[in-house]
Amino acid sequence: MWCFFREIDWSFLLNFNDIDKAVFSFYNCLNDVFSRTVPLRQTVTRRFPFWYTTETRRLLKRKARVRRLALKCVNPDSVDEFRALRSAVKYSIQKDYNTYLRLTENNLISNPRKFWSYFNNTKHNSPNSLYYNNVCYENDGDIANAFADYFKSVFKPSTNYDIKNEFKSNCVGDFVKIDSVTYDDVVLAIRELKSSLTVGVDNIPSFIIKGCAEFFIYPLLILFNLSLRSNVFPYVWKQTRIIPVFKKGDAQDCKNYRPIAILSPMSKIFESIIHKRLFHQVKNLISPSQHGFIPKRSTATNLFCLINKIISSFQIGSQLDVIYTDFSKAFDSIDFGILLNKLHGLGFHVNLTDWLHSYLCNRSLYVYFNNAVSREFSGTSGVPQGSNLGPLLFILFINDLTSVFKYSECLLFADDLKLFSSMNSNLDAVLLQSDLDCLFKWCTVNKLHLNIEKCSILSYTRKSQPLNHVYKINDLVLSRSDSVTDLGIIFDTKLDFSQHINSMVSKAYRRLGILKRKTKEFSSEIALKVLYYAHVRSSLEYCSIIWDPIYRNKIEIIERIQNNFLRYLLYKKNGIYLQDASSSYLRDMFNIPSLCSRRDVSCVLFFYKVINGSINCTDILSAINFAVPARSMRNQGSFPNVYSRFKYIDRFSLYKFYKTFNKISGELDIYHMSPTVFKSNCFQLLYT
């Protein structure tokens, strides 16, 4: 393949003015090379497991042949030969299976994500029949069309207008523009492309592009620049394959599936370049309240900002009313005309908006189900799923939402919106209701639908008689609850997090049970530890700075999960299951620190990243108080010590960071140490 690619002179692409014709010729050359170098194989049903070696298959066939002769009594020695072959086959199969297990363990060590895909019985099988709109479909083609009809139903018609005339009349400047793509841009984008066997409509897997990158850089550079010059995104790269993936509930209900979009890797390379160039120019325009799809921000930064507001409200004896909203199919409901108008308002050049209009419109989608293909349909609204540009376009669309609130504050994680305000009197509740009305008007103008039934109110207070105001959206009363799940963390009105810890522990036990059942034939200690870290411990440490407990009973409940795994690890190593083995002994034996210690380190590292800019959130940085101790003071720590008789203060991660870091501040330089050295020293000091 390399030899054929090396002989192609891609300069003929410079003669094209039509991007679609240029891309068509580009694919013709690729398909010609593939037809001469990639052998065609007919898919057949395997008679034997794929991990059988050629020798095992040969023995099985020979055993079957000798068995037939023995049954016919043609040769008296056939029975003895059959018995010998049967023993040889059993030995060979066991040998192949052991080899397969060792290879699997090594693969899981390097990529623990393969744990779920490796075991086929953990996957959900495709349904034999499907119901959509009270109609049952049993044929694979009909099922694919039913999925297509359902996925198409979420789209809405977009606004049609003359882009150029509208933009010329409201021109505010051309600050954001992309004139061309450089050679280095393409090299870096191909290097960052994930190597995968998954193929889009063009049937070219990404590992071929990465393996032959030196031959793809020049033609892709020509095509990308032609696309930008002509303000047209190639139609071939707008074709999308949709794979329906089961969520939960009834497997025969079409509405219990989500669409997973498979795009062409060429399109992903182009989009990643445009995304980087675009984000660099608009990052300062994005609201600081937005934490989704923004580098150096995360769910942890979003939730900490909320926690900080709640703690501040508790400290002054006030009440914080938080309204959790829910947009219905927000990513699929974006109106193209409104989006382009907003982008121009942000200073996008007219050529760039023309290119984005071509990128968004006339996208062709089809559903692929059990080798059956549905009829094609078009996405008339929304940002493309699975794309690099889609999330950025969405947060630019929703960016002006934060400016409509006059009396309250908000936090965003993509389309997840929280609106909150401190309640000192009924007037504060009236003002918050006013901002709710502004939210509904904004949704109406921007054609986004609020799922009011799923919107809820939580009043964070330690008062015995809180102020329970009735909030409404479009004259519909919002439900008031005692707890809510926000970005995977269960919050309650007292900020206790007991409900979250119990739910988290329950899920972790289920995951650990699956892990132990599926690895009962594994023998590699490293593989077992890697799988535990990836699939069990990670769920116990998600956003731990938010819910980290201070009570011993809660700490021990969490530690029992790891102790359970450590006893299982000891059993796999020595064949003895010691129920009464001490947790400290087991942790020292397998060099696994306690979960409590890891949470302490995680807390210190989080604020280390905030102080040094690895986490870019000005609200968190402004909340940190630095101590300048006098020479006569006994406390020479870098941060002030906070004392309180209230337990929620001790539980607050920022004050816990003050206390933890001041103990080791003499050994660590939080301002000049590199992240690797700081983390290593922090682990060593806190564990010892």
Burial (Cβ within 10 Å: 0-12, 13-18, ≥19) of residue 23? buried
> Contact, 142 vs 367, CB < 8 A?
no
Question: What totals of helices (H) and strands (E) does the chain contain, helices first?
Answer: 27, 18
Instruction: Lowest mean pLDDT of 84-88, 101-105, 294-298, 439-443, name the range.
Output: 101-105
Reply yes or no on whether the pLDDT at 332 is more than 80. Answer: yes
Taking residues 510-522, what's their average pLDDT? 91
Q: What percent of the chain lies above the pLDDT cut of 90?
A: 62
Residues 154-177: pLDDT tens digits?
999 888 745 554 444 444 457 899
Q: Is 131 helix (H, G, I), strand (E, B) or coil?
A: strand
Beta-carbon count within 10 A of 35 CB = 9
Reply yes or no on whether the pLDDT at 606 is more than 50. Answer: yes
Reply yes or no on whether the pLDDT at 61 is more than 60. Answer: yes
Q: Cα separations (Å) of 389 from 263, 277, 392, 461? A: 12, 11, 5, 41
Angle, CA of 414, 112 and 244, to the nearest 5°: 50
> Contact, 252 vs 130, CB < 8 A?
yes
E strands of 376-525, at which residues? Answer: 377-378, 409-413, 416-423, 449-450, 456-460, 472-473, 476-477, 479-480, 483-486, 489-492
Taking residues 415-421, what's their average pLDDT? 95
CA 433 to chain centre: 34
Taking residues 74-83, what's their average pLDDT? 80
Summary mean pLDDT of the chain: 89
Taking residues 481-507, what's their average pLDDT? 93
Output the pLDDT for position 660: 87
Taking residues 136-160, what's their average pLDDT? 89
Taking residues 401-415, what's their average pLDDT? 95
Output the pLDDT for position 688: 64
73 vs 671, residue with greater confidence: 671
Output the pLDDT for position 121: 40
- Split at pLDDT 50, 70, 90, the class of 631 is low
Residue that is written with structure tokens 């006098």 in the block: 630
Cα separation, 536 vs 523, whole angstroms: 19
Taking residues 252-261, what's their average pLDDT? 90
> Contact, 472 vs 429, CB < 8 A?
no
Cα separation, 314 vs 538, whole angstroms: 31
Cα separation, 502 vs 204, whole angstroms: 46
Taking residues 499-525, what's their average pLDDT? 92
Cα separation, 422 vs 312, whole angstroms: 10
Output the pLDDT for position 358: 94
Taking residues 373-389, what's their average pLDDT? 92
Cα separation, 263 vs 265, whole angstroms: 6
> Contact, 571 vs 510, CB < 8 A?
no
- Split at pLDDT 50, 70, 90, the class of 186 is very high
Output the pLDDT for position 44: 63
Output the pLDDT for position 2: 82
pTM, 2 dp: 0.90
Cα separation, 444 vs 442, whole angstroms: 5
